[in-house]
Amino acid sequence: MKIILDAMGGDNSPYAVIDGVALSRKKDSQTQFVIVGNLSEITKYINEKKYDFSDVQIIDAPEVISCEESPTVAIRQKKNSSLVVSFDMLKNDESIDALISTGSTGAILAGGFLKIGRIKGVSRPSLCPVLPTKKGTNVLIIDSGANVDCKPINLCHFAIMGSIYCKELFGIQNPRVALVNVGTEDTKGNELTKETYKLMQKLPINFIGNMEARDTLSGDYDVLVCDGFTGNVLIKSIEGAASFVMKELKTAFKSSFKAKLGAILAMSSLKKLKTKMDYNKYGGSPLLGCNKTIIKSHGSSKADTILAAINLAKSYTNANINGKISDAVLNMPDICEVENV
């Protein structure tokens, strides 16, 4: 297994990536690594930390693609950026199995699409992050923002890819797939979800119907399907609400002496809660539907997150998820009788 890491573009670049690789190498000496980024910064940090990275390939590519740039323009023009160099190596070097980046989501999507290409039959590659649930299980949200305007067939592909990924990643034999909607009744929804509902019933997945957004974290669903605009609003609303409640809680705990004392006593339990809710532990999200393993890790990733992303890249590749997606999409029933769905 050989993994290439774009060391730039994240909040803690390139240090988090280097530390993450070091953590992984402590536990697994088999996996090979290529780190791409500002060579002098990277080697300086490796020397400072006294890491033995003699068999890690470091590629100099000092340019960085920022989140403000147009993703497609940047991928086409910034040939010396750490992300483009990483994608070019992933494309041309057959020994490289996977790519990890904490950089611009849009640029990673554009790179996956333009440089690596889609799995045959998949209409749209998609990002699919994981959230924790009330029941201690996990739930996948697909799409989470890659595709802001979707047709029903795109959502069907998301459902198939999400179902396969969930099965392989969490060992769930028959993942419960639901469509994010404004009500649970099958007549509810906008034009997109109403049409998608009909098609999803015909797919070879465990489609259990519509779900209202308030039940996202209920643990009653394994895979939630939606267009990328909705997925983005869903995930960011949850993030914002959780941060709101935690902040209010902090204020409540500081509001009186008794409350402060209470907070100190409850501290270790509260810390466990914080860990449970930390979605960085998942490492990131694969770009499902592309021809190689591509992991988008959070911009604020620290060493632990990068380690988790490396482990995700390994298990994703070892489980041959892309091959399984390819088979499933090619063998998909002909559900789209109406043109242009």
Tell me which residues touch a second copy (CB under 8 A). Answer: 68, 70, 134, 145, 148-149, 180, 182, 185, 187, 189-191, 193, 212-218, 226-230, 232-249, 251-253, 255-256, 258-259, 261-270, 272-273, 276-277
In which residue are the tokens 């109406």 written?
A: 338
Q: How far is the CB of 157 from a second copy (least distance, A)?
A: 18
Compare residues 266 and 338 and give the one whose CB is closer to a second copy: 266
Q: How far is the CB of 281 from a second copy (least distance, A)?
A: 15
Q: How far is the CB of 216 from a second copy (least distance, A)?
A: 5
CA distance 234 to 224: 11
Compare residues 193 and 291 and give the one whose CB is closer to a second copy: 193
The closest alpha carbon to 213, from 170, 253, 249, 183, belongs to: 183
Number of helices and strands in the chain (H, E): 11, 12
Q: How far is the CB of 199 from a second copy (least distance, A)?
A: 18
Question: Which tokens is 85 given?
Answer: 């160099």
Q: How far is the CB of 271 from a second copy (least distance, A)?
A: 9
The closest alpha carbon to 197, from 225, 223, 233, 164, belongs to: 225
Question: Is beta strand 2-6 parallel, antiparallel or unpaired with respect to 32-37?
Answer: parallel
Compare residues 146 and 321 and give the one whose CB is closer to a second copy: 146
The closest alpha carbon to 331, from 164, 213, 82, 173, belongs to: 164
Q: How far is the CB of 297 from a second copy (least distance, A)?
A: 18
Alpha helix stretches (DSSP H) within 78-224: 82-92, 105-111, 152-170, 191-200
Compare residues 262 and 323 and give the one whose CB is closer to a second copy: 262
CA distance 70 to 108: 12
